[in-house]
Amino acid sequence: MARIKQEREIPVVAGYDVVVCGGGPGGIIAALASAREGAKTCIIERYGFLGGMATAGLVAPISVFNYNGRRIIDGLPWEFVERLAAIGGAREEKPLGNITFSPEKYKLVAQRMLKEAGVDIYFHSYITGAEYEKDPDGNSRIRYVIIDNKNGAEAIAGRYFIDATGDSDLAAMAGVPMQPVPEQLQPASLIFMLSGVDTDALPMIRHSQQGVNYHDLMIRDLFTKLREEGTEDVPMFGGPWYCGILADGIVLVNMTRHFADMTDNRVAGEMECLLRENAHRYTELLRKYIPAFKNAELIATAPMTGIRETRRILGAHTLTGEEYLEAIDFPDSVARGCHPVDIHSANSTSQRCQFMKDAGFVPYRSLYAPSFPNLLVAGRNFSADEVASASVRVQASVMGLGQAAGTAAAIAAKGNTGVDKVNTDTLRARLLELGANLSN
Ligand SMILES: Cc1cc2nc3c(=O)[nH]c(=O)nc-3n(C[C@H](O)[C@H](O)[C@H](O)COP(=O)(O)OP(=O)(O)OC[C@H]3O[C@@H](n4cnc5c(N)ncnc54)[C@H](O)[C@@H]3O)c2cc1C
């Protein structure tokens, strides 16, 4: 491939104690935690709104806050849900603690809470580079992130950085080693929104409960039969799962699926085209065969295709499925998860669900990589194997990771210490004060 060399001067437009990269569920709560702890904090997001998969991917519901009816993910994540509920933007389904929400109210509450906490928000800013230096001990310290927006290229200086991009974009640019790539990543899915649905005829939250794989079996069986018989063109699908947005007749449908490495721009572009075609095709099929969808109109596809799995960092500790499913409580446990292990097949309509015996734990060491003393991660890119990641990646637990990473970054900033040197007793004590549930 031909290459060009470009030399350019980039203005350093601001500096922060903590720079949060990515404004999804992990990043929002990380920025909130960091700012509330007194660190000068900003958040950088490529879209013009916060929420990540929750809003840009139209992924709903927020799963799951509870295990056996008891709240496991607590503190700032739950405060966020309460703020959303206070303006009619969230409704809890018990006993799982699944949250159906309004994506528009989600965007509003997220920006309000961050602004109230004093977080500077950089919207429409794509993180495209990291400037870092190596010290004599071989440690890499990030000094600036480069963002590209309408103003051109800009550099933002930071003392500490939190990679909440889901895809580990910042960590990859800074040279952090990644987990080995699994044989097949979980598939991507473009979620679409239908109006005119007879929502009274559909159970609105279709999700995995303990012992029950909660997709719509009637529609699944029908589409499987149509696919096998070849009577209709039925693209690959998963689920299907539906969730409302607290508005009459409106349903989000999660059923398109295709395998893709969504960190490759060209692959991701092709995937958007294919899955958009498929969303329209499914709308036709649902209208034709399912009475509740007879009058359905496709009113939106999500601004971006939903990504279940990409790069995860190789952290100081890689949380394994065994540790997680056995609910091993680490001396430095800082977050928890209680969703079933949920692995969607890359090349078939199936899904492998493993139900938890108890809520699992995430150690602080899974949030940073050795030799990167000013970088933490907050989100599905934390250091875990495929099994542990397939549970913790859901939104409530990712918010819990954000709470831990944001609090830890602020503590590190106060003490001017490496993230690996943060006293985990102090961190855990602070998380407990915030309301986190770190024990059975
Ligand atoms: C199809 C599908 C269905 C799912 N179903 C559920 C479900 O029912 N319940 C549930 O709770 N979870 C579900 N999940 C999982 C969940 O939505 C995600 O795992 C979770 O949102 C991850 O949060 P995050 O903060 O790590 O990343 P994300 O939500 O992906 O947020 C990352 C943010 O970073 C921004 N960003 C990324 N790269 C850059 C860059 N270079 N520059 C600037 N900004 C950047 C993105 O725009 C985004 O806002 C589902 C996921 C998918 C794909």
Q: Tens of pLDDT along 107-154? A: 999 999 999 999 999 999 999 999 999 999 999 999 999 999 999 999
Spatial distance between the Cα atoms of 429 and 178, rounded to a whole number of angstroms: 30
> Is residue 234 pLDDT above 90, yes or no?
yes
Instruction: Please say if the pLDDT value at position 42 is more than 80.
Output: yes
Same domain, 129 and 203: no
pLDDT tier, 202 (very low <50, low <70, confident <90, very high otherwise): confident
Please indicate, yes or no, whether residues 74 and 104 belong to a single structural domain of this protein.
yes
Residue 213 has pLDDT above 60, yes or no: no
Which single residue is written with the structure tokens 């194997």? 385
**Residue nearest (by alpha carbon) to ligand 1 atom 22:** 380
Residue 3 lies in a domain: no
Tokens of 432: 């407990």
What is the Cα–Cα distance from 406 to 385, expressed in whole angstroms?
A: 23
Residues 153 and 225 in one domain: no
Domain count, the chain: 2
> 348 exposed, middle or buried (CB, 10 Å; 0-12, 13-18, 19+)?
exposed
* pLDDT at res. 368: 98
Is 150 inside a domain boundary? Answer: yes
Residue nearest to atom 21 of ligand 1 (CA): 53
Residue 286 and residue 427 in one domain = no
Structure confidence at residue 350 as a pLDDT band (50, 70, 90):
confident
Lowest-pLDDT choice from 25-34, 158-167, 238-247, 265-274: 238-247
What residues make up the domain containing 66? 12-183+309-434
Ligand 1 pocket member 77 (CB < 6 A): no
- Would you say the CB of residue 25 lies under 6 angstroms from ligand 1? yes
* Domain end point (choices 268, 283, 301): 301
Asked if residue 313 and residue 209 are part of one domain, the reply reads: no
**145 with 54, same domain?**
yes
Residue nearest to atom 26 of ligand 1 (CA): 379
Which residues contact residue 79 at a Cβ distance below 8 angstroms, ignoring those fewer than 6 apart? 435
Sheet strands (E) in 32-89: 41-44, 66-67, 70-71
Residue 1 is assigned to a structural domain of this protein: no
The mean pLDDT of 309-328, rounded to a whole number, is: 97
Average pLDDT over residues 232-254: 93
Instruction: Band the pLDDT of 212: cuts 50, 70, 90.
Output: low
42 plus 165 within the same structural domain: yes
Q: Is residue 90 part of a domain?
A: yes
Indicate if 212 and 169 belong to the same structural domain: no
395 close to ligand 1 (CB < 6 Angstrom): yes
Instruction: Identify the band that residue 353 occupies on the pLDDT scale cut at 50, 70 and 90.
Output: confident
Whether residue 178 is found in the same domain as residue 237: no
What's the CATH code of the domain at 429?
3.50.50.60
Residue 58 belongs to a domain = yes
Residue nearest to atom 2 of ligand 1 (CA): 306
Nearest ligand 1 atom to alpha carbon 306: 53
Do 208 and 66 lie in one domain? The reply is no
385 lines ligand 1 (CB under 6 A): no
In a domain, 167, yes or no: yes
CA distance 364 to 317: 8
pLDDT of res. 205: 60
What integer pLDDT is reported at residue 32 of this predicted model?
Answer: 99
Q: Tokens 């199936």: give the residue.
A: 350
pLDDT of res. 256: 96
Output the average pLDDT for the chain.
95
Domain boundary among 275, 301, 327: 301
Structure tokens at 436: 């986190």
**Average pLDDT, integer, range 275-294:** 96
What's the rounded mean pLDDT across residues 32-38?
A: 98
35 pLDDT exceeds 90? yes
pLDDT, residue 222, reads 92
Q: Which atom of ligand 1 is nearest to the CA of 47?
A: 47
Is 2 part of a structural domain of the chain? no
Q: Which atom of ligand 1 is nearest to the CA of 50?
A: 49
- Ligand 1 atom 51: residue of nearest CA: 308
Identity at 375, one-letter amino acid code: L
Nearest CA to ligand 1 atom 17: 53
> pLDDT grade, residue 184 (50/70/90)?
confident
Out of 242, 270, 301, a domain closes at: 301
The per-residue pLDDT for 207 is: 60
Q: Report yes or no on 439 lying in a domain.
A: no
20 plus 53 within the same structural domain: yes
Say if residue 159 is in the same domain as residue 32.
Answer: yes
